[in-house]
Amino acid sequence: MLTTHRKQQILSILKRQGQVIAKEVSQSMGVSEDTIRRDLREMAHEGLLQRVHGGALPASPAVADFARRERITPEGKVAIGCAAAKMIQPGQVVILDGGTTARQVARHIPLDLKATIVTHSPTIAIELIDHQNIEVILIGGRLFRHSVVAMGATAIDTIAQIHADTFFMGVTGIHPKTGLTTGDYEEAAIKRALSRAAAETIVLASSEKLNAASPYVVVPLSEISGIITERSAEKALLRPYEKLGITVTRA
């Protein structure tokens, strides 16, 4: 079988089953595991999948830069942002992640709501300038341009002093096997710290992030309480999370 044909079959299996197990694929195609692993390495380099131990998972397309990510399912992100904003109660202390979906949350917070928003994203802070009743706490640090957020030791130290009600987290991938993942090692550490600074974590997950994986784990699914996604998301994609007791909101 030609390499291109093997790769096409691998992609087909990945789409159909949500994962590829190298041993099973090698047996079904009649080639060695080394051959399949080489195919997976090449496909991962092309951004077609995310390699994991024993095989591969779908790669998240949400790893582009900030400007390009804003163009991915914009209607879905607006719906998710609106649903998340409605969950914020008067007087709460809420941590709002950086990113394009979190930006929609900020845009949909009512102007008369009185609450505190903690964020490490200058973009989010700017969105809240006209919210006179919102106290904005901006976490500083080294600017990570890809996501337009602060990172580093200073940010971690500040986060450790916060006890929030809710953290609305953005990720590039959420998968029943790997949990919540993102594309940068340090950003994963910041998101992990923010999650542990809040009583509950709710994930903002537009449909392209469901059942997808990125290289760096943020937290396992056991550490989140809710997921907000689009109404158009397939129920079959959401069922594994609901079985774990996670509240899924289809916006």
Give the containing element (helix H, strand E) for 101: helix 100-107
Q: Which residue has the tokens 């914009």?
A: 74
Give yes or no for residue 68 having a pLDDT over 70. Answer: no
- Total residue length of the chain: 251
The closest of 45, 63, 46 to 146, measured between CA atoms, is: 63
Question: pTM, whole model, 2 decimals?
Answer: 0.81
Residue 63: per-residue pLDDT: 60
C-alpha span between 189 and 233 (Å, rounded)? 28
Backbone angles phi, psi at 40, to 5 degrees: -65, -40
* pLDDT tens by residue, 196-226: 999 999 999 988 899 899 999 999 999 999 9
Residue 132: per-residue pLDDT: 95
Mean pLDDT of 3-25: 87
C-alpha span between 168 and 118 (Å, rounded)? 10
Q: How confident is the model at residue 79 (pLDDT cuts 50, 70, 90)?
A: very high
